[in-house]
Amino acid sequence: MEITRTVTEGHETFRLEGELDLNNAMDVKMLLDDEVKKASKSLILDMGGLTYVDSTWIGILINAMKTLKALNGTLVLLSLPPSILAIFSKTNLLKFFVLAPDPPGLLKSHAPASADRKRNVLTCAKFLL
């Protein structure tokens, strides 16, 4: 598991790579908990480099999202790989998260595949601008 922090146009993004599972869940949870406390409006996770997530990690994401929501913030998930997107879809979690297809497409106007995807990208852009 590797986490890379970048700041672009004033927005902090954490790129996650590798596998997120029980073996590294507590380390990632501690990092997210710290970042959620610091986040002014949003916490952006670029998940394009992930190859696997288990239910432990999904629980951590849900808790981070709930905490940010209570602080009037947003958890933004970028570049969900198809296999992980399928898990979110099958468990009906897509409606609870703000999703964007990729960092370059985050603030651009484009035509997403579905109305829900379009709503999520527009919502994401609103929170980041």
3-class DSSP assignment, residue 5: strand
Q: What is the pLDDT of residue 112?
A: 38
The pLDDT of residue 103 is: 58
pLDDT confidence of residue 40: 63
- From the list 86, 20, 30, 27, the residue with the least C-alpha distance to 58 is 20
Place of tokens 């239910």: 55
Rounded to two decimals, what is the model's pTM? 0.74
The pLDDT of residue 17 is 93
CATH of domain 2-128: 3.30.750.24
Q: What is the pLDDT of residue 49?
A: 93
pLDDT of residue 119: 45
Q: Give the tens place of pLDDT for each residue, 73-129.
A: 888 899 989 988 888 888 888 888 888 876 554 544 333 344 444 444 444 444 444
- Domain boundaries defined on the chain: 2-128
Tens digit of each residue's pLDDT (9 = 90 or more) over 44-81: 899 999 998 888 888 888 998 898 888 888 888 999 89
- pLDDT at site 117: 42
